[in-house]
Chains A and B, each alone.
Chain A
Amino acid sequence: MIVPEHWLREFVAPRLGAQALAELLTMSGLEVETCEPVGALPGGIVVGRIVSVDKHPNADKLTVCKVDSGRQTLQVVCGAPNARPGMLAPLALVGTRLKDLEIKPASLRGVQSEGMLCSARELGLSEDHSGLLELPANARVGAGAGKALRLDEHIFTFKLTPNRADCLSVLGIAREVSALTGVRLRAPEIKPVKSGIKDKHPVRITDAEGCGRFTGRVIRNVDAAAPAPAWMRERLERAGQRSISALVDVTNYVMLELGRPLHVYDQDKLSGPIDVRWGRKGERVLLLNGQTVEVDSSVLCIADDSGPIGLAGIMGGETTKAETTTQNLFLESAFFFPEAIAGRARRFNFASDASHRFERGVDFANNVDGIERATRLILEICGGEPGPTVDLVKRLPKRKPVTMRVARAAKVIGIEVTRKEIESVFRRLGLSYRKAKDRFTVSPPSFRFDIAIEEDLIEEVARVHGFERIPAVPPRAPARMRARPEARRSLHELRERVAACDYQETINFAFVEPAWEADFAGEADPVRLLNPIASQSSVMRTTLIGSLLANLRFNHARKVERIRVFEVGRVYLRDAAAADGPLAVAGLRQPMRVGGAAFGPAFDEQWGAPARAVDFYDVKSDLEAVCAPRALRLEAAPHPALHPGRSARVLIESEGGFQPAGWLGELHPRWQQKYELPRSVVLFELDAEILAATPLPRPAQPSRFPPVVRDIAVLVDATLPAQVLLDVAQAEKPAIVQLIRLFDLYQGTNLPAGKKSLAFRVVMQDTERTLTDGEADQARDALVALWGRRCGAILRA
């Protein structure tokens, strides 16, 4: 809503500057987004009166004018075609600076010129350069031209909240200013225009749940081609409305002034009576904006015998619109219920000033005022003979009295507002009320659609009283201790742990390219956005991998050679079996994941160690550090994103065994090529919820006796996973074996074909006594025999 200051001050004139007024309104809930001066002219531009216009002796297109500057008569050479004696125009005196031009006495083709007569463009007011900007005939010669052009005002741009439909007009804002300042409101005085003819147009309201009131009037023999007066055009333009034609301008003017949308029909184009009714399936309307829409029984229509001719409260139709050739017109001033209008325009993908107002609520008591105001303006501009105003009232909104308890207001706001002050707030807002000892009962006026419950009144009291005057009181609450469960890690701790392994956190959009889902998750049917911002971000990710690879590509393109990133975020998985729950939506699972990617050298290039590329086992070690103290097991398994020989399911130690928690592996070379990554990438993605559990320590008493260490190297099949040997040993090892650690892997040509050598360090210890060498050797031999029996292992000499 854009409101020019002069228009507003016509209705309420507080002694406050524009900025102070803007501040006051903002702080009471009508946010003024901008408060800008209309324009300011440079000093030295005055109202000049052209005394005479003579041909320039040496130039066809120039004239020599004598101009009264209020102090003296100056000779000015001028090129404008519209210069004529008696005309008032802006005169830039010598010394004035206009943009890059400084006005100096000059000789133009041999004639002395002492100033410049200006067009609107030369003053920077518009693009109009067709001639001199004519000033109103009543302007004072010699006075500043800015005042004559009414540039001495500000334009308020409001960002109104949807509840304050009553402020979608100059009058509405003025009412608010009056309430806030206590300065009397001078509402425009509207006198009925007497009808000179008897013509009426028949109107029927078939569906009164949509339309409660329809006020109409016929005006015959208008000159619709007459131009709207300059003052009206100027006000409309300053209020952000382009001037179109006299009839449209008048309806816009009344809408902006009173908040009362109107519509003008060419009466001669109407076929039979107007009917307000719900649309019928299959019916179509060609609208004023050129759009044809199909209506149904949820769309309220204005119809005549030909069918629907407009969308009620939204937009009129093309076939019955008033044009500059219209002679006889029919004015509509209706009340449509917000519920009958709301959401419809949006469904057809547009908005109009009328729908914006009707869906929020239009005053249902000013229909006649709107017609009378518009009639008077039309008669002034276009002439014509008005018929009688016909006011058809079917059903008006009920305004139930709303009670506010003084004690409840104090409880909600947190301080007592006195009854006297409450009364003053209601009175200033124009809310009629009855008061009892401990409560007020308010009857909301017809222009307020936001007062239905007690809190609505409490808000009005708090707002007008001033939020700033409500003290900030620290609440009193019982001092109860709180602590996080020790056996659960928060997402922040998880992030810290991953960051400690040299990964930088990123945050990526949850919607991604469909190709990423197909490539990295084998997901052909991810959850799709119905209205994505772009096709590259049109599906909800089921894996973090695509986003992490995008991070790699972004940074690699910026010459970062070593990139390690991670993200903690949700993925979105269709699951027909998932039901609604306190934290769940049926049809979906939305688990939190932690994913990471490592690319480039294992370590930052450094002087003390040879450079080597990061590999699977580096990242495995990172995951072990992140998950500690819980142990990890990896088992080879395929994943769409990963190299088939370097892809593993990650299992994490849980009560009663190992639980699948996610994936670790190297990016499939196919994707590495497709996504133009010059080196391999190691990726992981784990379920963050599974990682959150962390068992409390259950320490055992350390042995007082020394450990004994034996190393064992065995030859096994090259394809046998090391984990098999460890598992066999874990299950059946001699009791004194405390720890078995694989410390060497050897695969060389001097070994039998298809074999590898694995070396284990075995730590033995007893809690009761010192072990003898004999006992240790015996345990070692038992292990070797066990591995021989179960894994085909041969002790390596």
Chain B
Amino acid sequence: MGSEELEAIVARAAADFAAAPDPAALENAKAKVLGKTGELAAFRSSLGSLPAEERKAAGQSYNSAVQRIENSLEQRRKQLALAKLESRLAEEALDVTLPGRGRARGGLHPISRTWRRIEEIFGSIGFDVADGPEIETDWYNFTALNNPENHPARSMQDTFYVDLKDAQGLPLLLRTHTSPMQVRYARAWVDRHRRTAAMPPIKVIAPGRTYRVDSDATHSPMFHQVEGLWIDEDISFADLKSVYVDFLRRFFESDELRVRFRPSYFPFTEPSAEIDLQFASGPLQGRWLELSGAGQVHPQVVRNFGLNPEKYIGFAFGSGLERLTMLRYGIDDLRLFFDGDLRFLRQFA
């Protein structure tokens, strides 16, 4: 067998491999050329009978032929494997536009969103958060806040009463504001630091539910307030202005909005202010919107905290969470907050 023949075998093997449509056919083609009875077997067995001087060259030709056949075999194997993978991948392709499966996610109430945000903002300058009873005593809701029985200021708030009485025989009530928490928190604080040489400042907000006998398009008999209180040896009305304006700018994420402090009256603060807000842009642009009551805590209230008003002064404020939420998200109907309509609430998910 000469080298031409050998070349022919290599070429035929390459052609057979290329023609093999799948791995089984390829292995058959391989056996046909490289197997024990394959085309090359006769050539190899003939090598031994060649004269020594020819044997070396023939051996080299044979090895080269085998090498080349195996190369083309390997190449074809890879081709076939790749083709198989590709066809599998093509079969496995998904419609990626089908909707995702499994459980969806619920969401928080818009008032809760505001509530948490307020806690974060005041928390950033070291305010604690407190909450307390909603059914309150007359003393905490009114008298401790310098609003004794029969005081004309009591008619500023229409109070819900319940069929339980306190130790003085006065009916318990639903708190009309979060201000009772000023007194509860401050008294507990003073008590806790009774033995401390220098009492740390009282710095707290108290968000929560409040109640008044009032029900129409712009009043809900249950609503939310956040109370703020900062008492130390030198916390002034100027500090109140700064803290509250800062809060509003952070809450509404706008340095453009205008805030004004208007003299007013509350039994538990003096001087007292109503805080109004004005947006520089948007649908409410230019209108003054009432937002909060605030002021320097009245000396009688500081005394009711258990502190000497000569030494401790500071401010308090109370703001409506509904109002803040409505302004923040552009909601114009208060009733949407409390009728549980998922079509409305889900938009805050």
Which residues from chain A sit less than 8 Å from chain B, CB to CB? 26-29, 31, 161-164, 339, 342-343, 346, 359-360, 411-415, 453-456, 458-459, 462-463, 467-468, 470-475, 477, 480, 482, 492, 495-496, 498-511, 527-533, 537, 540, 550-551, 554-555, 558, 560, 563-566, 568-570, 572, 574, 580, 582-588, 590, 603-604, 606-609
B273 and chain A: residue at smallest CB distance: A467
Q: Does the CB pair B264–A161 fall under 8 Å?
A: yes
B265: CB under 8 A from chain A? Answer: yes
Contact between chains at A467 and B262 (CB < 8 Å): yes
CA distance A26 to B261 in the complex (A): 11
Name the segment of B2-10, B35-43, B61-69, B97-105 touching the other chain. Answer: B97-105
B164 proximal to A (CB < 8 A): yes
Task: Say whether B109 faces chain A, with CB atoms less than 8 Å apart.
Answer: yes
A555 & B342 in contact (Cβ 8 Å cutoff): yes
Contact of B99 among A529, A566, A606 (CB under 8 A): A606
Which chain B residues numbered 96 to 130 have a C-beta less than 8 Å away from chain A?
Answer: 98-99, 101-109, 111-112, 115-116, 119, 123, 125-126, 128
- B-side contacts of A412, CB under 8 Å: 236-237, 271, 296, 313
B198 to chain A, nearest CB (A): 11
Which chain B residue has the least Cβ–Cβ distance from A606?
Answer: B101
- Which listed residue (B99, B106, B128) contacts A505, Cβ 8 A? B106
Knowing A27-B262, A585-B135, the reply to whether A533 touches B271 (Cβ < 8 A) is no
Complex interface residues of chain B between 165 and 195 (CB less than 8 A to chain A):
166-167, 171-172, 174, 184, 187-188, 191
Distance in angstroms from B188 CB to nearest chain A CB is 4
Q: Are A583 and B107 in contact (CB under 8 A)?
A: no
Q: In the complex, how many angstroms separate the beta carbon of B46 from the nearest chain A beta carbon?
A: 57
| Closest 9 pairs between A and B when the two form their complex, measured CB to CB | A414-B238, A414-B236, A29-B263, A161-B265, A343-B150, A551-B340, A472-B241, A472-B242, A459-B271
Q: Is the CB of A508 within 8 A of B340?
A: yes
B101 close to A609 (CB less than 8 A): yes
22 A-B pairs (CB sep. < 8 Å): A29-B264, A342-B152, A413-B237, A455-B271, A467-B262, A470-B237, A474-B246, A475-B243, A496-B108, A504-B346, A505-B345, A507-B109, A508-B338, A530-B160, A560-B342, A569-B209, A574-B164, A580-B137, A585-B137, A590-B133, A590-B134, A606-B101
Rounded to whole angstroms, the CA-CA distance of A418 and B68 in the bound complex is 107
Residue B343 at the chain A interface, CB threshold 8 Å: yes
Question: What B residues does A551 contact at CB under 8 A?
Answer: 340
Q: Which residues of A contact B150 (CB under 8 A)?
A: 339, 342-343, 359
Q: Known contacts A31-B262, A162-B153, A477-B126: does B337 contact A470 (CB below 8 Å)?
A: no
B161 sits at the interface (CB 8 A): yes
With a cutoff of 8 Å between Cβ atoms, the chain A residues found around residue B349 in the complex are 499, 504
Residues of A within 8 A of B166 (CB): 585-586
Q: Which residue of A lies closest to B132 (CB)?
A: A583
A612 to chain B, nearest CB (A): 13
| Nearest chain B residue, comparing its CB with the CB of A456 | B270
- Contact of A459 (CB < 8 Å), options: B98, B135, B260, B270: B270
The residue in chain B whose Cβ has the minimal distance to the Cβ of A607 is B98
Structural contact, A582 and B98, CB atoms closer than 8 A: no
Least CB distance from B318 to A in Å reads 16
CA–CA, A348 to B23, complex, Å?
Answer: 104
Q: Which residues of B contact A27 (CB under 8 A)?
A: 260, 262-263
Q: Which residues of B lie under 8 Å from residue A505 when comparing CB positions?
A: 106-109, 112, 345
Determine whether the beta carbon of B238 is less than 8 Å from that of A473.
Answer: yes
B263 to A455, Cβ gap below 8 A? no
Contacts of A572 in B (CB 8 A): 134-135
Q: A608 → chain B, closest Cβ, in Å? A: 5
With contacts A474-B246, A533-B215, A554-B340 taken as known, whether A455 is within 8 angstroms of B262 at the C-beta atoms is no
Instruction: Give Cα distance in the complex from A604 to B106, angstroms.
Output: 12
A506-B109 in contact (CB<8A): yes
**How would residues 211 to 240 of chain B score, 1 for a CB under 8 Å from any chain A CB and 0 otherwise?**
101010000011000000010101111110
The residue that B167 contacts in the complex, of A453, A471, A495, A586, with Cβ under 8 A, is A586
Chain A contacts for B109, CB-based, 8 A: 505-507
Q: Is the CB of A555 within 8 A of B156?
A: no
Q: Does B151 contact A (CB under 8 A)?
A: yes
Measured between C-beta atoms, what is the minimum distance from A544 to chain B in Å?
A: 12
Does the CB pair A530–B161 fall under 8 Å? yes
Given A342-B150, A507-B337, A565-B342: A492 and B270 within 8 A (CB)?
no
A458 near B271 (CB under 8 angstroms)? Answer: yes
Instruction: Assess the B99–A477 pair: CB atoms within 8 A.
Output: no
Task: A163 to B152: give the CA distance in the assembly, Å.
Answer: 9
Bound together, the chains give a CA A540 to CA B187 distance in angstroms of: 28
Interface flag for B323 (CB, 8 Å): no
Is B162 an interface residue, CB under 8 A from the partner?
A: yes
Residue of B nearest to A499 (CB): B106
Q: Please report the C-alpha to C-alpha distance between residue A537 and residue B220 in the assembled complex, in whole angstroms.
A: 13
Q: CB < 8 Å: which of B155, B234, B261 contacts A468?
A: B261
| Residues on the A chain within 8 Å of B222, using CB | 509-511
CB-defined contacts of B123 to chain A, threshold 8 Å: 482
Q: How far is the CA of A572 from the CA of B230 in the complex (A)?
A: 30
16 A-B pairs besides A580-B167, A585-B166 with CB distance below 8 A are A343-B150, A459-B263, A467-B241, A467-B260, A470-B238, A474-B239, A495-B112, A500-B105, A509-B338, A510-B211, A527-B162, A528-B162, A554-B341, A565-B340, A568-B112, A609-B101
Question: A583, B133: Cβ atoms under 8 Å?
Answer: yes
Q: How far is the CA of A503 from the CA of B125 in the complex (A)?
A: 33
Q: Do residues B133 and A584 form an inter-chain contact, with CB atoms below 8 A?
A: yes
How long is the Cα–Cα vector from A504 to B236 in the complex, in angstroms?
42
Residues 132-154 of chain B, each 1 if its beta carbon lies under 8 Å from chain A, else 0: 11111100000000000111111
Contacts of A339 in B (CB 8 A): 150
Contact mask B255-298 → A, CB, 8 Å, 1/0? Answer: 00000111111000011111000000000000000000000101
Cβ contact within 8 Å between B342 and A504? yes
Residues of B within 8 A of A360 (CB): 152
Tell me, yes or no, whether B299 is within 8 Å of chain A by CB: yes
Contact of A582 among B103, B161, B188 (CB under 8 A): B188
Q: Shortest beta-carbon distance, A28 to chain B, in Å?
A: 6
* A570 contact set on B, CB distance < 8 A: 134, 209
Q: With A and B bound together, what is the CA distance between A464 and B242 in angstroms?
A: 20
